[in-house]
Copies of this chain bind each other. A is one copy, B any other.
Amino acid sequence: MKKSFNKIKVKRSPKRGFYDKETVYKILDQNFICQVAFVYDGYPVIIPTIYGRLKNNIYLHGSPVSRMLQTLEKGNPISINVTQVDGIVLARSAFHHSLNYQSVTIFGNAIVVDNEIERMKVLEIISNQIIPDRWDEVRLPNKKELKATQILKIEISEASAKIRKGPPIDDKKDYNLPIWAGVVPINKSFGNPISDLELKQSVSIPKSVLALIKKNN
């Protein structure tokens, strides 16, 4: 298996472009929300949704009557973006202000996953993308729910990552200005779990939630 993707060339700030699978997978794996764009009736449509990654595939799911899934399952071109913002970059000049971020863009086409064993596996992958091991704790999908779930697979054939990190880069002469410059990190963290009021008192917070909170906070 080749280790790099076909290049969707990063045109603005090309030094920030990465095309290797390791970088692309890492960014995909540390997030779970993507934005999906497709063309509908000549117009661009953009919809946020959750995804799962396994090997070189992205999986989306939703209702079979979803306009997005109905459009994509015809094999129409799809563009997917995942963006994580890591910090605000404050320069001495307004012009050189920036963000630190990690972003992946994928172009491809979707196909329907229709094998029932594969479908169940994919739902587990999507679930794990958000909260690992939760799948083992819950009431699994029944036939009716599976019928109400469409699953699409997009092979990651064309992909690029774009990353900015580190301090601001100012014009040489601006370094002498008495203006503060640096980075304000943006962190994602989890708050204390809020138990459902309808919960039986005997049910304690499960392993999956404890592990998630411990890992990320």
Q: Is the CB of B200 within 8 A of A178?
A: yes
Enumerate chain B residues within 8 angstroms of A63, measured Cβ to Cβ.
Answer: 12
Q: Point out the residue from B83, B94, B103, B190 that lies within 8 Å of A185, measured CB to CB.
A: B190
Assess the A46–B196 pair: CB atoms within 8 A.
no
Contact B184–A79 (Cβ < 8 Å): no
Segment 126-159 of A: residues with Cβ below 8 Å from B:
127, 130-131, 134-135, 137-142, 145, 148-149
> Contacting A79 at CB < 8 Å: which of B43, B88, B188, B194?
B43
Shortest Cβ distance from A45 into chain B, in angstroms? Answer: 6
Query: By the criterion of a CB under 8 Å from any partner CB, how many residues of chain A are at the interface?
Result: 92
Q: Is A110 an interface residue (CB 8 A)?
A: no
> A212 to B63, alpha carbons, bound, how many Å?
40
B181 engages A199 (CB within 8 Å): yes
Asked if B194 and A135 make an inter-chain contact with CB atoms under 8 angstroms apart, the answer reads no
4 smallest beta-carbon distances between A and B, as pairs: A185-B191, A37-B37, A37-B46, A37-B44
Q: List 16 A-B contacts (CB under 8 A).
A: A37-B79, A42-B77, A44-B44, A44-B79, A90-B131, A90-B209, A93-B138, A99-B130, A139-B177, A167-B197, A178-B202, A181-B195, A182-B193, A183-B194, A184-B212, A187-B189
Task: Apart from A180-B209, A182-B199, A184-B193, list 5 A-B contacts with CB within 8 A.
Answer: A33-B85, A48-B103, A90-B209, A94-B138, A95-B148
